[in-house]
Amino acid sequence: MENGSLEDWLHPSVAMSKPETLRNLNFFQRLNVAIDVAHALEYLHHRCEMPIIHCDLKPSNVLLDGEMVGHISDFGLAKILSGEWPNNSTNESSSLGVRGTIGYAPPEYGMGSELSTNGDVYSYGILLLEMLTGKSPTNERFTEGLGLHNFVKTALPDRVVEIIDPILLQESVRGGIVADITLNENNLGNDIHLQCLNSIFKIGLTCSTESPSERMDMSNAITKLCSIREKLLRPTRLRRGI
């Protein structure tokens, strides 16, 4: 699509990193894309005649059109759940190898568990954390015992400013005005931008928890993310009398 993949924007190659070609996604753009992807997954899981599991959600499989709307692509590993599997899972195990991409595939697939919509939810959670930290789950700093999930979990809520993508630290949305984020932790509770970032991090953590049964349903994730977006937009509307 016109604007390539989410991977291109989060982790531009050396050739794309030149000042004249540098592209950055601001906070609202990232939030909007996250909501777009959540809607797409919710449709696949709950609104198709038979649920569909994507099985390989990651930034390179999220394409951005000319309006910067996110679209899920590459259904090469996708599975359709037939009516005989009412609990949104299929008896096809992943014992032949991890179905998906390392870092994004849920841990239960590596242990031969059945494919399920919960697996896509895990991948979405990791994707959401990556969009806010700017760090891939396979980042070299993540060694055994410290993955992207735990990296974020140990920083919340008091050290959220330490894990945010530096690009996002340069902006704060207050009534539609972009300003510098104050790194004083005492101001965290009063900064609506940082409050919302913290809330989104928590959604990502819930979606990417190790236990499939404890993960958030995509419908719930959409509701929460849209509520956060509305909270960010509300100061602007109130000031304009809308």
Residue whose C-alpha is closest to residue 191's, from 170, 177, 173: 173
Report the C-alpha gap between 242 and 236 in whole angstroms. 9
Amino acid making up residue 234 = R
Q: Which two tokens stand for residue 219?
A: 């419908």
- Catalytic residue chosen out of the listed positions 8, 36, 56, 191: 56
* 38 CB-near residues (< 8 Å, 6+ apart): 124, 218, 221, 222, 225
56 is catalytic: yes
Which H/E stretch holds residue 237?
helix 218-239
Q: What residue type is 173 in one-letter code?
A: V
Region of 175 (left: φ > 0; alpha: ψ -120 to 50; beta: rest) is: left
Residues annotated as catalytic are 56
